[in-house]
């Protein structure tokens, strides 16, 4: 039995399996039974641009170095495939924009791209410019020469990512071609990347405007007509997520990661308990992703002036410092404007390092995620309890690369042999198949102790834990009584030594056999 709300893997095809076929082999091999689906991060041409694939030159073509649309379809036959629809921008190296660079307004694609005058045709004031919300310091414009004329081109993220104008037919022709390519290959979940910035309107902060909602509604209609659902990727005040969730298929629960980290660092479940009372259940849950840990999602925010956050400013400062200390200072180096980060309170760090490489606390964090209502997604680095890749970050200077390791097949095999990874996989297989997860969810969080449970008349899955000492027991009740699936004792040094000894004996008994 595979649950429709079962876990999904988040990964780059080239950084885990090597390519799409290699990823498929992993899901059919050592990861079999753990995932009901996979979010394959951008595999379009090129997958290795300035923003790791989020700046495609051609969003409708699979980069041949990774595979073909048939390889995507093969993944979809195994389970749900989620892919990114990059709504806000395209690459400055795309054929469409190159034509505009050459011909200017004479290009048939000229209406598709935003310049300053596209939004402010009657001129712009200092107040207008200061009001624009951008995830990086400075204004979202880059001076470029279009048809021999210097123009201020709208570039929310980087100069290589040119924003498109969704008020135009040309932009929608482009987006429809993208959605058709994806759904035609069996993709059934569309993640709308950076969609919050797509609705630029004069007199607003140009983020999550009325136009944005209209564009999302139109994409929802297109997706549903093609049998796909839609996930919005929005960082902001937690109340925005609650409101947005009422209008779409899925939103991310970006508040969960920092609240779990706060609980485990500060030994305080109260903020998480408050969130559990109001959070939307049509959510995709994560701990870490290809981006940083979005601390901004639990604090006060200029997007909702006067509204308190789930954590107070002092608690957020303490949490950020705790992560930096736990990571030995590596996250401090990789976080902030100097490391090309999107915002100053988006901490770049693996979740494993954010908890000081403490196996017990890390596994407890994962179990809490798996028990919370929604679709749990597990990032490939997190699945392998990966450590900060300081070498990669040092080479590229991009802070987020500290959590974007390239794993060889040997690396994967070595990590899968660790107790904390094996325990995660056991819990994931339970989450992917146990019928109790289609039942009723209950949550009891008090002080440092908690009980999260899913119950049907025939069965119950229950996680009991204490964030003070990171003790926990994940257990299942069935017709034959209670059975422990995993507990903190499974990660003791003696348990790890016994597990490795048993694996070595199995290898000697069955030479050449795969475990």
- Which residues are catalytically annotated? 193, 233
Distance of alpha carbon 457 from alpha carbon 434, whole angstroms: 13
Residue listed under structure tokens 């935003």 = 114
Structure tokens at 353: 């390092």
Please say whether the beta carbons of 130 and 124 come within 8 A.
Answer: no
Handedness of CA 330, 235, 297, 428 (dihedral sign): negative
3-state SS, residue 195: helix
Please say whether the beta carbons of 424 and 447 come within 8 A.
Answer: no
Question: What Å distances lie between residue 230 and 72, 168, 193, 242, CA to CA?
Answer: 18, 22, 11, 16
Please say whether the beta carbons of 170 and 111 come within 8 A.
Answer: yes
Among candidate residues 284, 240, 266, the one with its CA nearest the CA of residue 5: 284
Q: What does the DSSP 8-state code read for residue 253?
A: E
Structure tokens at 116: 């300053």
Structure tokens at 236: 């902001």
3-state SS, residue 349: coil
Count of C-beta atoms within a 10 Å radius of residue 221: 11
Q: How far apart are the first and last CA of the chain?
A: 23
Sequence-ordered alpha helix ranges (H) in 113-168: 116-119, 126-131
Q: Is 467 exposed, middle or buried (0-12, 13-18, 19+ CB in 10 A)?
A: buried
Sequence-ordered alpha helix ranges (H) in 246-298: 256-266, 270-278
Sequence-ordered strand ranges (E) for 63-168: 80-86, 89-91, 141-146, 149-154, 161-163
3-state SS, residue 142: strand
**Long-range contacts (CB closer than 8 Å, 24 or more residues apart) made by 146-152:** 146/100, 146/101, 146/104, 146/105, 146/110, 146/115, 147/100, 147/101, 147/102, 147/103, 147/104, 147/105, 147/106, 147/107, 148/104, 149/104, 151/115, 151/116, 151/117, 152/115, 152/116, 152/117
């Amino acid at each position: 039995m595979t649950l429709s709300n079962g876990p999904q893997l988040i990964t780059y095809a080239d950084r885990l399996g090597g390519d799409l076929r290699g990823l498929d082999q992993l899901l059919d091999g050592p990861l079999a039974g753990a995932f009901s689906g996979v979010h394959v991060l951008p595999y379009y041409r090129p997958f290795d641009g300035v923003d790791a694939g989020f700046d495609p030159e051609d969003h409708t073509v699979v980069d041949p170095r990774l595979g073909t649309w048939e390889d995507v379809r093969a993944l979809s036959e195994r389970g749900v495939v989620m892919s990114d629809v990059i709504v806000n921008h395209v690459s400055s190296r795309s054929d469409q924009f190159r034509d505009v660079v050459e011909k200017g307004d004479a290009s048939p694609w000229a209406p598709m791209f935003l310049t300053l005058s596209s939004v402010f045709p009657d001129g712009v004031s200092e107040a207008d410019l200061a009001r624009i919300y951008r995830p990086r310091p400075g204004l979202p414009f880059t001076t470029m020469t279009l048809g021999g004329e210097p123009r201020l081109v709208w570039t929310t993220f980087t100069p290589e990512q040119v924003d498109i104008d969704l008020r135009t037919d040309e932009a929608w022709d482009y987006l429809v071609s993208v959605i058709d390519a994806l759904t035609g290959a069996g993709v059934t979940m569309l993640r709308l990347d950076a969609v919050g910035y797509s609705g630029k309107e004069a007199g607003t902060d140009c983020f999550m405007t009325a136009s944005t909602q209209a564009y999302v509604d139109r994409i929802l209609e297109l997706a549903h007509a093609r049998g796909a659902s839609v996930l919005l990727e929005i960082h902001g005040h937690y109340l925005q997520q609650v409101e947005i969730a009422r209008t779409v298929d899925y939103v991310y629960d970006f508040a969960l990661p920092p609240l779990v980290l706060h609980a485990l660092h500060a030994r305080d479940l109260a903020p998480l308990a408050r969130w559990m009372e109001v959070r939307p259940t049509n959510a995709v849950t994560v701990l870490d992703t290809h981006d940083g840990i979005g601390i901004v999602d639990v604090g006060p925010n200029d997007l909702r002036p006067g509204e308190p956050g789930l954590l107070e400013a002092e608690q957020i400062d303490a949490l950020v410092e705790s992560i930096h200390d736990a990571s030995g200072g590596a996250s401090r180096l990789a976080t902030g404007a100097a490391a090309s980060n999107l915002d100053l309170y988006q901490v770049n760090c693996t979740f494993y390092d954010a908890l000081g490489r403490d196996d017990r606390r890390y596994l407890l964090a994962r179990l809490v995620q798996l028990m919370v209502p929604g679709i749990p997604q597990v990032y490939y680095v997190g699945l392998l309890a990966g450590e900060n890749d300081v070498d990669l970050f040092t080479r590229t200077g991009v802070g987020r690369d500290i959590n974007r390791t390239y794993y060889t097949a040997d690396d994967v095999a070595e990590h899968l042999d660790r107790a904390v990874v094996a325990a995660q996989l056991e819990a994931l297989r339970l989450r992917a198949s146990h019928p109790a997860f289609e039942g009723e969810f209950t949550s009891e969080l008090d002080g440092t102790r908690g009980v999260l449970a899913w119950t049907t008349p025939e069965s119950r899955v229950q996680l009991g834990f204490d964030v003070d000492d990171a003790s926990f027991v994940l257990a299942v009740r069935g017709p034959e009584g209670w059975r422990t699936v995993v507990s903190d004792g499974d990660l003791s040094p003696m348990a790890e030594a016994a597990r490795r000894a048993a694996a070595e004996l199995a290898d000697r008994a069955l030479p050449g056999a795969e475990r």
